[in-house]
Amino acid sequence: MDNSGNRLAEDAKARVIATPAVWLEGEAIRQLEEVAQDDDCASAVGMPDLHPGPGIPIGAAFGFTQTIRPRLVGSDAGCGALVVGLGKVKLSSSLERRVRAEFARPPFAEENLDALCCSAWKHGPAALDDSGVSEFLGALIGPDGLCESGDLPSSVYGSALGTIGGGNHFAEIGRVTDVVDKGAATELGLGKGSLVALCHSGSRGLGKALADTWGHTALKDDAAADYLADLAGAVRFARANRVLLAGRLLRALGVARPKKIVCAFDCVHNHVTRENNLWVHRKGCAPAHNGQMAAVLGSRGTPSWIVRGLGNPDGLSSVAHGAGRKMMRSEAREKIRARYRRKQLTKSRLGGMVICDDTKLLYEEHPDAYKDIEPVIDSLVQAKLAERIVSIEPLITVKK
DNA sequence: ATGTAC
């Protein structure tokens, strides 16, 4: 028995992780059930941030027995959230100016990008010395480098590295506010009041190219292996992008040394991996294996939560990736425009500020367009998918 | 969510 109440038709394969306090759009549940009806689908789990997407819902994990479905990974393969704990950092009074300046200029020198984007990366991260995050990059990206040799046209996508991207993506400096699991928080260096860099970004044009190439296919054998190799490149690209964004935040904070980093973990939201004899596709959904840390992203008006996964098979070892939208973008543009003056849009209910020149995006991404995160986290905890560690409230959020 | 074209 799941806790979805009576929202789902009799369908043993689809379930929703949501207490009655979580509002869910009917169209999202319809899309979830539609995927679950596929003969090869063993289970489809909607997370409490489930919302309608392009034919398939966002905020769900799908377990397939035999085949890989690139469509269920979507056009932003590798998109995810990076959390970097910085411990106690003294904030400069000119922080806002410094963050603005950092994100107003190109992120890295051309020659460094080239070094990053080609197979030369495999020989070491030394080319990135200018940011002071090279060791950090090397540690997070791993020895395989950014991409398979020759599979990434750096001239096309390289300039996207270290930039935020659009939509719900952001780079943020936040502060730990509520500490629920003090032991875990201390162990991670995420004590109350400590600073965190939080980066939500994806694989940009590379992920789109991948989606266009693989389309709505059902993959097995050699084709599946080819797709997985492409996907691995997109995941490394997206992860590198997040690391570079974190590097820029560190630069603005005046924290240029990797040893100041007390913890770092990266959650991939759009991915497919083989787990327990299933191809587990996560679409807007973070892995939460037993002991694995995940960030469930808030909305500036509501905090983000760091949770520890419990590896619950009923939830396909996953958790929600965020609070989830409450309004469609078009609806948000109209309603928020009527509700607030332009000047009110850059300061959030929690006191944080957003740096964003795009008024339309400020409407679409306003906290009012998102659900409260509290029932979302509560649903994950009640269903025993994860446990709360700490909450993080935004101080400065950069969006493009 | 994206890069490009309109």
Whether any strand B atom is under 7 angstroms from the Cβ of A81: the reply reads: no
- How far in angstroms lies nucleotide B5's C1' from the CA of residue A32? 34
Whether any strand B atom is under 7 angstroms from the Cβ of A53: the reply reads: no
pLDDT at residue A123 tops 80? no
- How far in angstroms lies nucleotide B5's C1' from the CA of residue A208? 17
Residues A201-217: tens digit of each pLDDT: 999 988 888 898 899 99
- How far in angstroms lies nucleotide B4's C1' from the CA of residue A339? 33
Residues A363-393: tens digit of each pLDDT: 999 999 999 999 999 999 999 999 999 999 9
Model confidence at A137, pLDDT cuts 50, 70, 90, reads: low
pLDDT at residue A114 tops 70? no
Task: Specify the amino acid at residue A241.
Answer: N
pLDDT at residue A133 tops 60? no
| Model pLDDT, residue A257 | 60
Nucleotide nearest A156, from its CA to each C1': B3
Whether any strand B atom is under 7 angstroms from the Cβ of A204: the reply reads: yes
- On strand B, nucleotides with any atom < 7 Å from a protein CB are 1-4
pLDDT at residue A190 tops 90? yes
| Range in A28-32, A35-39, A86-90, A130-134 with the lowest mean pLDDT | A130-134
| Model pLDDT, residue A96 | 96
Residue nearest to nucleotide B2 (CA to C1'): A205
Residues A287-302: tens digit of each pLDDT: 999 999 999 999 999 9
| Domains with residue ranges and CATH for chain A | 14-398 (3.90.1860.10)
Whether any strand B atom is under 7 angstroms from the Cβ of A322: the reply reads: no
Whether any strand B atom is under 7 angstroms from the Cβ of A79: the reply reads: yes
| Model pLDDT, residue A108 | 67
- How far in angstroms lies nucleotide B3's C1' from the CA of residue A235? 19
| Range in A44-53, A111-120, A222-231, A287-296 with the lowest mean pLDDT | A111-120
pLDDT at residue A32 tops 50? yes
Task: Tell me the average pLDDT across A97-107.
Answer: 91
| Model pLDDT, residue A113 | 47
| Model pLDDT, residue A347 | 92
Nucleotide nearest A206, from its CA to each C1': B2
| Range in A109-123, A169-183, A195-209 with the lowest mean pLDDT | A109-123
Nucleotide nearest A208, from its CA to each C1': B2
Q: What are the b/e assignments for A236-256, b being 16+ CB within 10 Å? A: bbbbbbbbbbbbbbbbbbebe
- How far in angstroms lies nucleotide B4's C1' from the CA of residue A10? 45
| Model pLDDT, residue A154 | 46
Nucleotide nearest A200, from its CA to each C1': B1
Whether any strand B atom is under 7 angstroms from the Cβ of A325: the reply reads: no
Residue nearest to nucleotide B3 (CA to C1'): A205
Whether any strand B atom is under 7 angstroms from the Cβ of A167: the reply reads: yes
Whether any strand B atom is under 7 angstroms from the Cβ of A205: the reply reads: yes
Higher pLDDT, A6 or A118: A6
Residues A47-89: tens digit of each pLDDT: 999 999 999 999 999 999 999 999 999 999 999 999 989 899 9
Whether any strand B atom is under 7 angstroms from the Cβ of A163: the reply reads: no
Whether any strand B atom is under 7 angstroms from the Cβ of A308: the reply reads: no
Whether any strand B atom is under 7 angstroms from the Cβ of A75: the reply reads: yes
Residues A256-267: tens digit of each pLDDT: 565 677 888 889
| Model pLDDT, residue A151 | 47
Task: Tell me the average pLDDT across A167-193.
Answer: 96
| Model pLDDT, residue A10 | 60
pLDDT at residue A43 tops 90? yes
Give the whole-angstrom CA distance, residue A245 versus residue A172: 9
- How far in angstroms lies nucleotide B4's C1' from the CA of residue A237? 22
Cut 0.85: pTM above it:
yes
> In whole numbers, what is the pLDDT of chain A averaged over residues?
86
- How far in angstroms lies nucleotide B4's C1' from the CA of residue A260? 41
